[in-house]
Amino acid sequence: MNLQKCSVQLSYMLRHSTEPLYIDINGGWANVEDILSVLRLRYPEMDRETLDEIVAGDRKGRYAYDETGTKIRANQGHSIEGVTVEMTSPEPPEFLYHGTAERFLPSILQEGLKPMTRQFVHLSAQYETAHTVGKRHGKPVVLLIRAADFAADGHRLLLSANGVWQAEAVLPEYFSVMEDA
């Protein structure tokens, strides 16, 4: 069984799948047994130990169990309308980063960063992470977000359980294109 492919399906189920809706929009939690039964349709050998391995081995910390271990959720990246996941609102660092592809840059410079099909724009505290994200979509471009100024002007920045900063949108006056670092 390919754990990477299982993780991709798990991510889809917990963040985007609406038919059937696996998750409770309040908190984004799904019943572990329901998720396992669906994953077994494609991966008959899927069991709780393998799911635990996927969750623990995910280097981005995408998934979390509730305190009882009977529910699971994605920590961020939901596209299902109405899903709310608890996040904190600490004081942000001076700068954050956003990775994208060069081909998207003209519209981003004109309209700003928008969540598109997700609920929030994802921002990173590390340049390298943003660069890696940008590479997934083509020639990478990293934007430097003036996060402290953004927050000081009353815009909300949230932090997910796995350390991803999020904003509802970021206007162009709060970012600049970085030269390749």
Tell me the pLDDT tens digit for each residue of 36-72.
999 999 999 999 999 999 999 998 889 999 999 999 9
What's the pTM?
0.72
- With beta carbons less than 8 A apart as the criterion, state whether 75 and 162 touch: yes
pLDDT digits over 84-134, tens only?
Answer: 788 899 999 999 999 999 999 999 999 999 998 888 999 999 999 999 999
| Rounded (10°) angle between helices 32-42 and 48-57 | 100
User: Torsion angle of alpha carbons 118, 97, 145, 93, nearest 10°?
Assistant: 110
How many of the other CB atoms lie within 10 Å of CB of 140?
17
Place of tokens 């592809």: 101
